[in-house]
Amino acid sequence: MLGYYKIITYGCQMNVHESEKIAGLLKAMGYEDCPAEGSADVIVFNTCCIRDTAERRALGNIGVVKAEKKRNPSLILAVVGCMPQQDGAAENIRQRYPYVDIILGTRNISRLPEEINKIISSRESKRRGDKRYRAVDTRLPDEYLSIDENTPTLRTSYPNAWINIIYGCNNFCTYCIVPYVRGREISRSMPNVLDEVRRAVDMGYKEITLLGQNVNSYGNDMPGGEVNFAKLLHEIDKIEGKFRVRFMTSHPKDLTEEVMDEMAASNKICSNLHLPIQSGSDKVLKDMNRRYDRERYLYLVSALRSRMPDIGLTTDIMVGFPTETEEDFLCTLDIVERVRFSNAFTFIYSPRKGTPAAQMEQIPYAVKQERISRLIKAQNRITKELSDGYTGKTYEVLCEDTAPKFEGMVCGRTDSGRLVTFDGGPSDIGKFINVKITASRSASLFGSREDI
Ligand code: SAH
Ligand code: SF4
Ligand code: F3S
């Protein structure tokens, strides 16, 4: 064994999955996952910059590691992912945190082993008087260097397997940093994706979650126009075995009738969709460059519900976009009441350097805070009302984990994506269990199993 590694992950599922690949790379080098109380030889911060809070949290924790590096000078510290990929950010990190050894952007992560080896050998030669080697690589090439098809993956979220289908984003929503830090869309080949799904199912994974900033544009960058997301879903559905399929994220402008048809026709693809709305105001949606309006969004909701009456719909909503007035915000509250999402992830708009919205006149933070608390209150009420409707019914639940707060209990999800806590133990993880819902508490459902 070469030593221990620790990976600290911020941000979205894409990053969680990329950390599984970082773990795979480090393990292949001979490093092992660091036990909770142990001290690591390699620490990797896999960062996010979607909002100011995400950046500040990562920078604060990188600061904390300075003391650890003092105690253990051979520690190798790497900062990778979205944060250093921003314009000028890598240089900034390099100067402000001189004890950081390796800085890699989103498309260079697979170079981590090579850079670790260079650091180790440069330390040996430094004893002979050479200058210390530090690695910085944030090139953003068109071809995806980072996650090549051969990168080993050390999956950490059994019974779910994350599988990336498309990298990057072409949409340039005016508030969003992702297209700048993740580059243009590149789809993985369909045979490679299908092969990875098959292998995960053969290994016993019971849920496959397909990942992409916009899964609906899968295949758009491929020549011939024969491959698209609906076809991919169709092929995945044909793979033998009992497993569930979810995917995220779907952009409302690109969700097609074909995809909705595939979802409805399949037993494997869950009746569950995350469909970020961002705002209920047509003017704000336009200023955000979202390229759909309320009417289109409401149409999609009714088209989905007419095909799948029990579909669980979740969303992302942002308040405090620069051009959002009180009236616009009321449109958001109105659409939340109309759609009745089973859950909503709510965010306060955070200006991101280099994006068009950051140049607009901003609205006071107090206004944003007041809006988000009204929004959260409305959504919590709806979530609770919907939860109450589950009571007394039986659902098939895929047991995911032991329940963190309740001894002798486990938790899992219904097909529609609702979290259920019920009696059980670690041996239930990965099993499909029928559970009768007996009580609900805001977003959580409680039940008793029907298999005993
Ligand atoms: N690709 C996905 C989501 C990417 S980021 C999509 O298109 O929906 C996840 C969520 O973060 C977004 O849906 C949005 O609600 C939020 N977000 C993105 N940029 C933000 C910003 N500058 N400030 C606050 N929230 C932001
Ligand atoms: Fe950001 Fe919009 Fe791309 Fe989503 S679709 S990652 S919100 S630019
Ligand atoms: Fe954050 Fe990058 Fe994901 S900015 S949300 S980790 S794509």
| pLDDT tens digits along 45-83 | 999 999 999 999 999 999 999 999 888 889 999 999 999
Contact 434, 394 (CB under 8 A): yes
Q: Supply φ then ψ for residue 103, to 5 degrees.
A: -125, 120
- 15 with 123, same domain: the answer is yes
pLDDT at 165 over 90: yes
Residue 329: give its domain's CATH number.
Answer: 3.30.750.200
Please give the residue that has the higher pLDDT: either 307 or 131.
Answer: 307
Q: What is the largest CA-CA distance in the chain?
A: 74
- Average pLDDT (363-369) is 98
Measured from the CB, is residue 169 less than 6 Å from ligand 2?
yes
| 102 belongs to a structural domain | yes
- 202 with 246, same domain: the answer is yes
- 376 with 326, same domain: the answer is yes
- Average pLDDT (167-188) is 96
Q: Distances from the Cα of 335 to the Cαs of 45, 293, 295, 332, in angstroms?
A: 38, 11, 10, 5
Q: Which of 17, 48, 107, 166 to mutate to test the pocket of ligand 3 (most atoms within 8 A of CB)?
A: 48
Q: Supply φ then ψ for residue 21, to 5 degrees.
A: -75, -40
Measured from the CB, is residue 49 less than 6 Å from ligand 3?
yes
pLDDT at 145 over 60: no
> Residue 425 — very low, low, confident or very high, per pLDDT cuts 50/70/90?
very high
Q: Supply φ then ψ for residue 78, to 5 degrees.
A: -120, 140
Interval between CA 73 and ligand 2 midpoint (Å) = 40
- 23 with 92, same domain: the answer is yes
| 146 belongs to a structural domain | no
The structure tokens listed for 187 are 């789809």
Q: Identify the domain boundary among 243, 270, 297.
A: 270
DSSP letter for 130, please: P
Number of domains in the chain: 4
> Residue 147 — very low, low, confident or very high, per pLDDT cuts 50/70/90?
low
Q: Domain of 285?
A: 271-388
Which range, of 19-23, 38-42, 78-82, 228-232, averages the lowest pLDDT?
38-42
Pairing of β 409-413 and β 3-9: unpaired
What mean pLDDT, rounded, does the chain reach? 95
Pocket of ligand 1 (CB under 6 A): 50-51, 175-176, 178, 213-214, 249, 251, 276, 278, 316, 318, 347, 349-350, 352
pTM of the complete model beyond 0.95: yes
**Cα–Cα distance between 81 and 46 in angstroms, integer?**
5
pLDDT at 386 over 80: yes
Highest mean pLDDT among 144-148, 225-229, 249-253 belongs to 249-253
**Cα–Cα distance between 116 and 300 in angstroms, integer?**
48
Q: Supply φ then ψ for residue 176, to 5 degrees.
A: -105, 135
